[in-house]
Chain A
Amino acid sequence: MGLVKKSRIKSPWVLHYDCTSCNGCDIETLACLTPLYDVERFGIINVGNPKHADILVVTGSVNKRNERVLRNLYNQMPEPKAVVAVGACACTGGIFKDCYNVLGGVDKVLPVDVYVPGCCAKPEAIIDGIMLAASKLEEKAEALKEAKAHA
């Protein structure tokens, strides 16, 4: 079992979804893929396919239009999975919080595991957040197994 646990931490595949971000956090997220930060050294791959992903990285606040898309993406990901909210907007809704069409942060729609604050969040912080989410995958898998045993 230790091997699967280690592999989960060592190989978090990321799906990046831009809700209503101003693109600041997206640029910082994509900066993580560049040679300077090189997230592949942690085994992180930006897969762009919910069915292959372990971690959903969301930037920007959730509004009434993209809530459906966000839920759909999350539901297509196989367990165990985690959600990382990147940036002030994804954490709380940020400066768009009081807009008539904005629901707020990602946690209004999905169970968020890691909040990465900042406007925009620094690439180092984003990598830290993804690695923290990866270390949480194992306990999520355990909880899932227990829930299944009780059901």
Chain B
Amino acid sequence: MDIVILKDILTVAATIILAPIIGGLLTGIDRKITARMQSRSGPPILQPFYDLIKLLGKERLIVNQTQMMFALGHLFFAVAALAMFMLGQDLLMILFIMAFSSIMLIMGAMSVRSPYSKIGAQREIVQIMAYEPVLILMVVGIFLSTGSFMIRPLFSDMFSFGKPLLYDLPLVFIAFIYVLTIKLRKSPFDFSTSHHGHQELIKGITTEFSGPQLAVIELTHWYELVLFLGLITMFFARPVWIGIGIALICYFCEIVIDNISARMTWKWMLQATWIVGIGVAMTNIIWLYLK
């Protein structure tokens, strides 16, 4: 029993230390690939780490007392969701904690008086409205397929589900990839804030976060990225290395989509996500139910 607890603690510690390294490297590779697609040479792979450390070394401009707390909450819940995922906890609970993490960012952006920040936060709410039903449907599909909300640890000797979930949930997987574009803030759905330069809302939801606060939010993105790639891995994880390979391929596809599409309006996103995302996921679930 003690050994099991020790193993859990080690898993969580490894997750907290390794996830940002993996997430940061992936972000760096993302920027490099994006640059190459635009026939530029691009920043070094370690650029996200330089950005993060520089931001940590900047002056703390305190807009109000609560803003840093919300940024830290954003980080804390994302780390908690990832740790729960690695420990193989309740998938539904992980989704709720992820939603909590997003809500923290929205509250932080809403706590200041900048209109850019507020409109960015409102758009983030619209994004949550768009993708959350699809994520819930994904969990429903997994429940129908496996009979449980629990997921076993990814790196345990054998993955819990007998065969890859993709055989049962191909359409849910497509819906999830679709939604992932919103979650990773990629074009055409990057309107609450974007990773690159200008947009009509300056930097949208992160406009009023500066220095260390922005660093915390950036760090949270890396944890989230690892969590989402982990969720993709879950669909394919047998053996887990194939799952990781497919997750990386999906990430590459997201980069391609990011580079070939322009930003759409939030109305378009809401319609498209609800019709395509929910429609496709529901079709899969009905099929699963009738089977």
Contact = CB atoms under 8 A, between A and B. Distances in A.
- Whether chains A and B associate is yes
Contacts of A38: 35, 40-42
Contact of A51 (B42, B54, B61): B61
Contacts of A11: 47, 50-51, 54
Interface residues of B, number: 33
B16 interface: no
Nearest to B38: A35
B59 interface: yes
Interface string A37-53: 01011110111110110
B210 A7 contact: no
Contacts of A51: 61, 207-210
Interface residues on A, range: 20 to 34
- Counting chain B CB atoms within 10 Å of each CB, the highest count among A4, A11, A46 belongs to A11
B59 A41 contact: no
A6 interface: yes
B58 A78 contact: yes
Nearest to B195: A45
A5 to B, nearest CB: 9
Nearest to B48: A11
Contacts of A7: 49-54, 57
Contacts of A10: 44, 47, 50, 54
Contact of B203 (A43, A47, A54): A47
A54 B59 contact: no
B54 A45 contact: no
Contacts of A33: 197
Interface in A1-57: 3-4, 6-8, 10-11, 33, 35, 38, 40-43, 45-49, 51-52, 54
Contacts of A141: 57
Contacts of B54: 4, 7-8, 10-11, 54
Contact of B214 (A6, A43, A52): A52
Contacts of B31: 40
Contacts of A46: 197-198
B202 A48 contact: yes
Contacts of A4: 53-54, 56-57
Interface string B49-85: 1111110111111000000000000000000000000
Contact of A49 (B49, B58, B59, B202): B202
Given A8-B57, A45-B197, A78-B58, A40 B35 contact: yes
A79 interface: yes
Contacts of B59: 78-80
B42 A3 contact: no
B211 interface: yes
B43 interface: yes
A38 B59 CA distance: 28
Nearest to A41: B41
Contact of A43 (B43, B56, B58, B61): B43
A98 to B, nearest CB: 35
Interface string B169-198: 000000000000000000000000000111
A46 B53 CA distance: 18
4 nearest A-B residue pairs (beta carbon) = A51-B210, A7-B53, A79-B59, A78-B59
Interface of B: 31, 35, 38-44, 47, 49-54, 56-61, 196-198, 202-203, 207-211, 214
Given A41-B40, A49-B207, 12 more contacts: A4-B54, A4-B56, A7-B52, A7-B54, A11-B50, A40-B35, A41-B35, A45-B197, A51-B209, A78-B60, A79-B58, A80-B59
Interface of A: 3-4, 6-8, 10-11, 33, 35, 38, 40-43, 45-49, 51-52, 54, 76, 78-80, 141
9 contacts: A4-B57, A7-B50, A7-B52, A35-B39, A48-B197, A48-B203, A78-B58, A78-B60, A78-B61
